[in-house]
Amino acid sequence: MAGTNISIDKEQFCCSVCLEVLWEPVTIPCGHSYCMECIKGYWRKCEVKEEYSCPQCRRTFSPRPALSRNTMLADIVEKLRKSGVQDVSAKASDVECDVCTGKKHRAVKFCVKCQTLYCEIHLKPHNERNRGRAHQLIEVTKQPQKRVCARHNKLREVYCRTDQQCICGLCLKDGHKGHSVVSVIEERTEKQKHLEEAWRKSKQRCREREKELRDIVKYIKRSAQAVEEDTEKIFTRLQRTTERKHSEVKELIRGEERTALGQTEKLLERLNQQIVEQRRGEAELEALANTEDHIHFLQNYKMLCAPPDAGGRPSIDVHPYFSLLILRKALTELTDKVAEICDREAAKISEIVDEERDQSAENSLSAETARRDSQQTEPKSRGDFLQHCCDLTFDPNTADSLLRLSEDQTEVMSAAEPQLNADQQEIFSGGSHVLCSESLSGRRYWEVEWSGAVSIALSYKSIHTTRANPDQKQGCNSTSWSLDVSDSRCVFRHSKLSVEIHTPVAHRVGVFLDHRAGSLVFYSVSLVDGTMVLLHREQTVFTQPLYPGFWVGLGSALKLCQTFSFSA
């Protein structure tokens, strides 16, 4: 007998209590089946009323029915599991109970004291055993142990902003005295606001870039249409010129014909038959001379160019045929030259377009490759960054008159009175600014110490050639990038972009530049242990060497760190 295919729904073998595939199935008197542990747990809640019911049909039983394993149903479920039916309880989002043996039930609570996950079945005995004891229960997560302080076995309910980590109440008293601390909920709320703001700005930048892309597409289409219209006009002029010359040549041929016929008028009667043949030959020659089919021309050229039989033809003083041969040869050479010129110029145009396209693709590929290589090989520790350190000095010719430089040109502070210097020919406009003498390319790293309110920037050399223009201030245009820091605020600026940075900033800032990869990164460097915290990363394309530049507010100072003696 052939086998019968039966379509089976997995849900038919699910327990209606736990909504999972039956495990150790039992069947109660009403005919419904459940996991043995599920129906036992459900009936425990009915012990007070001493009335046991079916969770599905609500039929009641008294006394409590004896439960025994449904062997046939258990075998069917086991075979279905082996044949590939998936257990609907195996969800990635479920966390299993630590106490269950055999089949694992879904955990519903985590005990901070016991460091254990409990399902509904095992949670009740745990609560009864530890009634009156400090056993805190929390909601289940993927890794609940991370919410508990490993040192004090307490729930992490406080966030230390100074050390940027979650701690428990005992940690607050132990190693975080005097630190800025808030509740984790408050910090989450604050960070959530910053995250939403960053998301909003990212979405805004995405919309702006989409608009730029649409504008580029429109520009390309308009440019292509304009070129196409110009090309149409050029070829129209060429066509008209060719047609005009064609008419002139035809008129020249007819003139030659009329002249020859006038000279041979007396011979028409004798040569009437020959003239008919001659005219047929002339018509074929004319058609061949004017044809655009090169193959047809070449195949019929020799036959039509063969000189006619001169026998019996009277000699005449002027023979127009030779003039026509010269004219036709000249026209043939002209046709070949025009075709050659057109092909050569068209090939040049194609080569120029292909070279531009290949160069653009190569530049894009090089920039993308450099960016990926930079991300893979970017320094990880402060020691790695110091391998790329460089010594910088201020350029006094670019210093504002309100700034005072040290003798070694490595420290600057604002002055109450202007510092007059007759040699200053390139004073940077827009406030108390100063540039460094060194231009930077490749990979470079440097650190500065600051106090008060300062701006740490990089810009192209041309930025200080424009005076009295607010858009030429560092960070306010497309040719400079600036990090503005003070004790109360930290902001990154570039062109019209402004990004608020909420990470605490130490009084030493490290700057890493990867010119080829277009990467500029600012770090907060701890003066205690030299640890580095990322402040901002900017990814762009640099087209010129960069010069470090600084703005120093009133009562502020800045120092270029020349020697790095810290060892991790």
Parts of the chain with a pLDDT under 70:
1-11, 19, 48-49, 81-94, 142-143, 145, 261, 263-264, 266-271, 273-275, 304, 306-325, 356-377, 416-431, 463-472, 563-568
Q: What is the pLDDT of residue 430?
A: 40
The rounded distance, in Å, linking the Cα atoms of 58 and 19 is 18
Contacts of 313 (CB under 8 A, 6+ apart): 271, 274
Helix, strand, coil shares, percent, the chain, to 5 = 40, 20, 40
Dmax (CA) for the chain in angstroms is 145
Residues found in the chain = 568
Distance CA 513, CA 549 (A): 14
471-499 in b/e burial notation, b at 16+ Cβ within 10 A? Answer: ebbbbbbebbbbbbbbeeebbbbbeeeeb
Reported as a single tens digit per residue, the pLDDT across 513-550 is 998 888 999 999 987 777 899 999 998 888 889 999 99
CA distances from 547 to 271, 293, 538, 543 (A): 96, 66, 16, 13
pLDDT tens, residue by residue, 486-495: 988 999 999 8
Q: Are 22 and 14 in contact (CB under 8 A)?
A: yes
Q: Check residue 332 and give its pLDDT.
A: 80
No. of helices (H) and no. of strands (E), the chain: 9, 23
DSSP for 436-477?
BS--B-SEEEEEEEEESEEEEEEE-GGGGGS-S-GGGSTTSS
Q: Which helix (H) or strand (E) element contains residue 499?
A: strand 497-500
Question: How many C-beta atoms lie closer than 10 Å to residue 426's C-beta?
Answer: 13
Cβ atoms within 10 Å, residue 6: 5
